[in-house]
Structure 1
Amino acid sequence: MAGRGSSPSSRRPTGRRDGRSTPRTTARPQAAPVASSGGSGTRFTTRALILLGVAVMLIASYTTSVHAWWQQRSEIAALEAQNRQTQQDIAQLEDQERRWSDPAYIRQQARERFGWVMPGEIGYRVIGVDGELKGQSSTLEEPEVAPRRPWVERLWGSVEAAGTPDRAAEPTDADPELETDE
């Protein structure tokens, strides 16, 4: 009797129940199950590790490219918004320039802002009980006053100014009013 370890030629041919013999086929070797060395974990081969490394490098390179693309798209969107705002500002300034080139608009602004009237017109202003103007009044901006310097600096400044001749006091040849009669 042939055991498990015997060669296929030493085996007896098996037949069918009807007595005919079946042709022999060559047995294909079955893949032996991979024995894991340490429990139920998967075993990585060198080829799998290289493939994993290449995949990680591709992901890293594409991630930086996508990040740069995304950042540039956001910069473009911000610049386009700034461009639209600038175009609106330009349109407003052009409209304002067009208005100021119209003499009727200038007269209207002079009437509204400064209370001016045309020759022959009479302008009225309503003053309240408290002495303040009622209604719309023009407001002019106060000129900026330089901070007052200490008296010592002002005194020294006048000494320095006294040492320099005043050019407005000097007579010139072109001004006939400043000529003296001799």
Structure 2
Amino acid sequence: MIGTPVPGPAKRGAEASRPASAPQAVRRPLAGAGGRPPRRSRLTMRFFVLTVVVVILAVSFASSTRAYFDQRDTIQSLKDEIARREASIEKLEREKRRWQDPSYVKAQARKNLGYLMPGETGYQVLDENGEPLGAAAGLSDPDDVGTAERAAWWEDVWGSVELAGNPPEERGQAPAKIDGVKKNEQQENQ
């Protein structure tokens, strides 16, 4: 049985009428499920284009973001500079108002120039090295006078009620000396 042809399936229709000597078309097996033709790989070209677009967008976004942060920092520094200058203007306006007060002008003339009112005698206090001591008293800013707010009267009353309900604890013993006299000597004198 070697070399004997094996009978194949029965041919039907047009294939059965074709002579055996005619060349048959070479059929290639279909790759893929369902009889679809094989896909050609276009992934590389699509991937390359997509990568280029993403890189361009990233560079554009990065430069825009950097410009945004630079502008934000510039705006903040300008706002800080405006605040500093407004504070300086306010300080100068306060100084100007102080110089409009006649008593402040007199005090500055006495302090800085050594001026005296008619009938006054000036004295200069010197330290042990012969240097003049500075004046301790001075006039305050008129804007600061009377700005302290007092607590409401009921807060004071309530504070005394709380203090009466919870008196402070005794702190140690009484001092041994009162007005320069020992406690024992004071009791003996009485």
TM-score computed with the length of structure 2 as normaliser: 0.48
Relative contact order higher in (CA < 8 Å, ≥ 6 apart): 2
TM-score computed with the length of structure 1 as normaliser: 0.50
